[in-house]
Amino acid sequence: MEVILKKDVPNLGYATDIVKVRDGYGRNYLIPQGIAILATEANKKMNAETLKQKAYKEDKIRGEAEALVKKLEDITVKIGAKVASTGKIFGSVNSLQIAEAIKEQFGYEVDRKKIHLDGDSVKEVGEYQAKVMLHKGVSVSIRFEVFAE
């Protein structure tokens, strides 16, 4: 029996995959649980259209991410912080502050969850690098400078 998976199933396949399973497994578990649907010709056509639309959206998102990479490559973000006389920052600089500084200084929207620092946070004045993961396989390394206010 062939079924089209609606959800990811470990050791079987991913959503929208067409897989061959035993009749009892498909009829008694996968279909009643809503995990799969029967792979009829109409359902296969519907699945193909869904995959085509998904690929189109994926390409569009990837294109936007690559365009943003070109804009973010050459920028240096400046972040001001209150500093002690030893050069240590009161508190720390984290991904949230970097995302806000990018939006404020350059007008680009970057999700703070996609910004990864080498450590958890920056606690001293100086120049650092952060990696921004914009999409699967699309990332850019940005420079940011922490200075005393």
Q: List domains and CATH numbers for the chain.
A: 2-60 (3.40.5.10), 69-148 (3.10.430.100)
Please, are residues 115 and 134 in contact by the beta-carbon 8 Å criterion?
no
Q: For residue 19, give the nearest of 33, 28, 32, 6 by alpha carbon.
A: 6
At 27, the pLDDT band (50, 70, 90 cuts) reads very high
Mean pLDDT of 28-49: 96
At 122, the pLDDT band (50, 70, 90 cuts) reads confident
pLDDT in tens, 70-86: 989 889 999 999 998 88
Higher-confidence residue of 118 and 22: namely: 22
pLDDT (0 to 100) of residue 35: 96
pLDDT (0 to 100) of residue 85: 85
pLDDT (0 to 100) of residue 136: 83
* Exposure letters 110-138 (e unless 16+ CB within 10 A, then b): beeeebebeeeebeebeebebebebbeeb
Query: How far is residue 107's CA from residue 85's CA, in Å, rounded to a whole number?
Result: 33
- Radius of gyration from C-alpha coordinates of the chain: 24
State yes or no: pLDDT of 103 exceeds 90.
yes
At 149, the pLDDT band (50, 70, 90 cuts) reads confident
pTM of the model: 0.68
